[in-house]
Structure 1
Amino acid sequence: MKKLVNDPRGVVREMLEGLVDLAPGQALLAEEDVVVRAGLPADPAERGVAVLSGGGSGHEPAHAGYVGTGMLAGAISGDVFTSPSVDAVLAGIRAVAGPQGALLVVKNYTGDRLNFGLAAELARAEGIPTELVVVADDVALRDTVPPERRRGIAGTVLVHKVAGAAAAAGLSLEQVAAEARAAAAAMGTMGVALGACTVPAAGRPGFLLADDEVELGLGIHGEQGVRRAALRPADALVDEMLAAIAEDRGLRAGGRVALLVNGLGGTPPMELAIVARRALAGLRERGLVVERVWSGNLLTALEMPGVSLTVLTLDEARLARLDAPTDAPAWPGGGRIAATRQYLHAPSPLSATAAPRPGTPAGAAVRRAALAAAAALDAQEARLTELDSAAGDGDLGISMARGAAALRALPEDAWADPVTALTRMGEALRRAIGGSSGPFYATALLRAARSLPEAAPSPDDWSRAFTAAVGAIAELGGARPGDRTMVDALHPAAEALAQALAAGLPPAAAWSTAVNAARSGAEATASMHPRLGRAAYLGGRSLGIPDAGATAVVVWLEALASSPDGVPPATA
């Protein structure tokens, strides 16, 4: 797996140097991989209780990201997924602690407990009062090991916050330790992974998962979970994790809680938001009062795709610790949420209140022509998708099919007359078609509607409306003929229609001339270098393939030409 590193043996030091470069409130010990709070009183006697934490690297932004006023005074980093040395931990304690002492927040792994525990003993021998708080919040192991042997995972971040706020409030070491231990005992965490991570020194994933599998109940060191399960929708996975936490922690209706939605490093914000949505709803369905919610990559496992949920029970005192100010760069903020999801309804356009107009023959003819175009676009969905996949994102076929469905769904009064029909078609396509096609077609139809007279349009009126529509598309997107876009089919068609009508050709013959011009224009795009849109990023790689948008234009123009009424200019 590719990684942006130099020498794998130097990743931890170089990472810490980068983090400290970006955080003016932090400093890096010259001799050890320890990040400390900058600006601590030079006289140790003036310092309050120092809260420290740490462990193996690879969990970023933990632990260095939580060094700051109101959270950690220091963070000690080992190699990736490896406990730091006793000497490094002791150096961190010496750097930040004074007579008030130090509290070490440790996740429940053997290496961390041994190295931090021995460092604490050495610090005490030097006259620095030191306490150890062990976090063991992983409820996935509830049926496997006794509570004291569970792993410490993402809930550790909340213990950092509670302990750091208590220390900043001036409490004694014993009081800070008591609050930290109480917080650690009042929460549960469970995770799910969609894949493994790759330790830089190993160069390969720690395990393999099939496309339809997940690991439930994993830790934070790239290991497999408690069990392998089938991939299910996000809501189902969230419900299973919440059920395990609620059962283990004895959560009851009326209780007050905080929720932490933690990405494991490779989960995009989109998916974390989907998970947070269901986790919040699931807690509320249990009658719990969710006071605070945080979501993001807070304690990760390198680039592992997955998520963990932490639920912490609250009282007023603990909530005050979570709300206390901190300048730690990775703390995600206040976490306040509304009591319920808030919805607002956008105001309806003034035209929506207008009385329906009686239908006209011209409006009915436009409806028949539009439905013919819709049917043609449906029939060509696969072809348009194939063309767009070669030089774009492959969504044009389905976009046109959605537009066709939106036209068929328009109510009867939408087709009262040509002006109303074009306006309502534009509104429907704007809502139905994503990407650039929706705005282009909506703008074109709205501009054309404004160009038509209220009375039954003549062929020349339709031609002028077509020209106005093409101009609107060019104006909106900045495309000109030769840029390899839909304009390369539309522009010659509009010009050919106007010229044919001016020469006295019957409307049907004039329209046939316009369709032939559009077809030639679309075919010519195969030899054009794209200058706009996604195809422009491919340069010459799109040569030999006609533009999908221009091809779609030909599809619906041909359908209009063969519609039951001939073409719109013939409906006058």
Structure 2
Amino acid sequence: MKKLVNEPKAVVRQMLEGFVALAPGQVLLDDETVVIRSDTPADPRQRKVSVISGGGSGHEPAHAGYVGAGMLDAAVAGDVFTSPSTDAVLAAIRAVSGPAGSLLVVKNYTGDRLNFGLAAELARAEGIPVEVVVVADDVALRDTVEPSRRRGIAGTVLVHKVAGAAAAAGLPLSDVLREAQAASAELGTMGVALGPCTVPAAGRPGFTLGDEEIELGLGIHGEQGVRRAQLQSADALVDTLLAAIVEDRRLATGARVALLVNGLGGTPPMELAIVTRRALAVLRERGLRVERAWSGTFLSALEMPGCSLSLLKVDDTLLTRLDAKTSAPAWGGEGRLAPERAPRPVTAAPSVSSAPAAKSPGMEKVHAAALAVASAFEASESRLTELDSAAGDGDLGISLSRGAAAIRALPESAWTNPSRALTSIGEALRRAIGGSSGPFYATALLRAARRLSEGPVDAPAWAEAFVLAVDAVANLGGAKPGDRTMLDALRPAADTFAQALKTGKSPAEAWAACVREAEQGADATARMQPRLGRASYLGSRALGVPDAGAAAVVVWVKALTPFIG
């Protein structure tokens, strides 16, 4: 187990100390793992209705992240995935409650219900009015247990917001309870996990998944879901989750909803944004009005990769509560959506006209050669990705695959003469490939294209264009042979091709020598200390693996072999 912890038994206290140190609006009680608002009136008679929640730790930013004006007055933290003790809950009630009373927001787990429920009874015996709302929003269990026994999961955060806003508005306890219950009754959530998480005290994952397996309908405590399935695309998973929620909640066309896209702890914002995009599209296709939406990590399961989707059917009252201001540090903001916009048309590059033009002789072979390079890039994607991941950022394979698609998409008018073809390919690669490969290849091809526009296009002209293209790459990147870059394959290949032609070799023989030099140059990079690019950050750790950029050069020079001569 690799985690940034000290002692597993100290995790919760030390975590809360770190949270509160950065939250001026919060205070951590000395003797309990309870976080309260720092502006809680000392005189209980001055306190409004307080809203309290909590549960096991490992769900961060829940629950302490929602302590603030307009949300929770206190959060009670238990050990990781373990309900807090009755005494801790009672300490929270005493710390923030007064004659106006308290509402406890409890997720529907046995330990939470028992400990929060007993604390409520003890507080009532002390004269503190206490009510409890139990959240059971997990629609994945709709075919397994009765509704009252479903788990409470990420949608609970929306109940925190509604109840906290109602209390902040000065409503009596009975009305705060009524609004929280109304929100809970209109709430549905379902999650998917791409992998397990590891509880610090256990030291091992709660379950195992194959490379192509996922868990659908899991809870928030590292447990397995209701069923295991094969890995699917993000869009397909979103469709599955939303279909279950919409069906269970009986959301009809025209219904107004709020959407919560929640990461389970190990899901990057990139993937959550992709999920959000699809979720909004599906809901709109179903005729639902998405009034508010949030995306982020709101209630996690340690480092579990995956997400959950929550839908809350709203009316004007609930929407007012969701829109109310809060100082809780983990709340996701206003949740307002950008207006729907029509997609902008993609305009073609002005340099490549679709108008017909006369073709130079041999352009069918040039076109076929370019398509062969595209096929070679696509076939080599996984290998180039593997090489680039070992000493770079891992994007070369997919970048060149995008470049291949751009080459295939060029119009027929791009293939009228060699100079125009190379210019068109260069511009296509510039637009399609990010990172460093796009500018390098575009610059090289544009430089070569200029040379081919200056006179007859024969083998020596192609050779000179190749040398000039390599010069352009060297000038742009500042590299030289021996630096462990694509130049270690490019420079010997171009120089050998040109020299072999000058000594009387046929183009086919000269190109065969060129390919051999490219291969030897690429192989040699495995023994070179990197001096430029991301590999230079690794130093000697990059040794033993050929440079991916040099390996890519070998891919395309070999692909051109059948067309030379």
TM-score, scaled to structure 1? 0.86
Q: Which residues in structure 2 correspond to 1:2-401 (within 5 Å)?
A: 2-338=2-338, 340=340, 342-352=342-352, 355-361=355-361, 366-367=366-367, 370=370, 391=391
Tell me the percent identity.
Answer: 70
Deviation at 1:512, TM superposition (A): 7.7
2:157 and 2:299 in contact (8 A); partners too: yes
State the alpha-carbon separation in 1 of the partners of residues 386 and 131 from structure 2: 65
Instruction: Please list the CA deviations of residues 411-431 of structure 1 after superposition, one character each: whole Å capped at 9, or x if unmatched.
Output: 332122232111111123335
Separation (CA, whole Å) in 2 of partners of 1:30 and 1:18:
14
Paired position in structure 2 for 1:437:
437
Letter in structure 1 aligned against 2:488: D
- Contact 2:198-2:302 at 8 Å conserved across structures: yes
Letter in 1 for 2:480: R
Q: Which moved further from structure 2: 2-11 or 330-339?
A: 330-339
User: Equivalents in 2 of 1:55, 1:30: separation in Å?
Assistant: 19
The 5-angstrom pairing of residues 474-553 of structure 1 reads 474-494=474-494, 508=507, 518=518, 521-543=521-543, 546-553=546-553
CA contact (8 A) 2:352 2:413 kept: no
For residues 169 and 208 of structure 1, what CA distance do their matches in structure 2 show?
A: 47
Check conservation: 1:385, 1:397, Cα contact below 8 A: yes
Deviations along 1:487-506, one digit per CA (max 9) or x if unpaired, are 123234555677789x8978
Runs of 5+ consecutive residues of structure 2 not aligned to the other structure: none
- Between the aligned partners of 1:216 and 1:380, the Cα distance in structure 2 is 34
Distance of aligned partners of 1:130 and 1:478 in 2 relative to their CA distance in 1, 3 Å threshold: farther
AA of the residue aligned to 2:189: T
- Alpha-carbon distance change, 517 to 3 in structure 1, aligned in 2, over 3 angstroms: closer
Residues 526 and 546, structure 2, Cα contact 8 Å, conserved in 1: yes
TM-score by length of 2: 0.87
Check the 8 A contact 1:46/1:98 in 2, yes or no. yes
User: Which string of whole-angstrom CA distances, capped at 9 and with x for unpartnered residues, describes residues 403-451 of structure 1?
Assistant: 4565455333212223211111112333555654333212221233345
Q: 1:303 to 1:551 in 2, by over 3 A?
A: closer
Query: 1:452 deviation in Å?
Result: 4.9
Instruction: Out of 213-222 and 249-258, give the one that drifted further.
Output: 213-222
Q: Is the 8 A contact 1:207 1:223 kept in 2?
A: yes
Q: Distance in 2 between matches of 1:187 and 1:252?
A: 14
Per-residue deviation at 1:319? 0.6
What displacement does 1:42 show? Answer: 3.7
Deviates more, 1:157-166 or 1:531-540: 531-540
Letter in structure 2 aligned against 1:195:
G
SS of residue in 1 equivalent to 2:3: coil
Q: Structure 1's 441 and 312: CA in aligned 2 closer, same or farther, altered over 3 A?
A: same
Per-residue deviation at 1:482? 1.4
Any gaps of 5 or more consecutive residues in structure 1? 567-572
Query: Which amino acid letter does the alignment assign opposite residue 267 of structure 1?
Result: T
* Partner SS for 1:287: coil
Cα distance between partner residues in 2 of 1:552 and 1:229: 37
Q: 2:122, 2:17 → 1: CA distance?
A: 28
Contact 2:352 2:424 in 1 (8 A): no
- Matched letter for residue 525 of structure 2: T
Indicate conservation of the 8 Å contact 2:353/2:413, yes or no. Answer: no
Please say if residues 403 and 428 of structure 2, whose CA atoms lie closer than 8 Å, have aligned partners that are also in contact.
yes
Aligned to 1:351, the other structure's residue is in SS state coil
Deviates more, 1:5-14 or 1:453-462: 453-462
- Could you tell me how far apart the structure 1 residues matched to 2:514 and 2:228 are? 61
Deviations 1:31-81, CA, capped at 9 Å, x for gaps = 211111123334433332221111111111110000111111111111112
- SS at structure 2 position matched to 1:219: coil
Question: For 1:555 and 1:201, how far apart are their aligned partners in 2?
Answer: 50
Q: Measured at CA, do residues 475 and 125 of structure 1 come closer, stay the same or move farther in structure 2, by a change above 3 Å?
A: farther
Which amino acid counterpart does residue 86 of structure 2 have in structure 1? Answer: V
The amino acid across from 1:266 in the alignment is: G
Distance 1:159 1:368, change over 3 A: closer
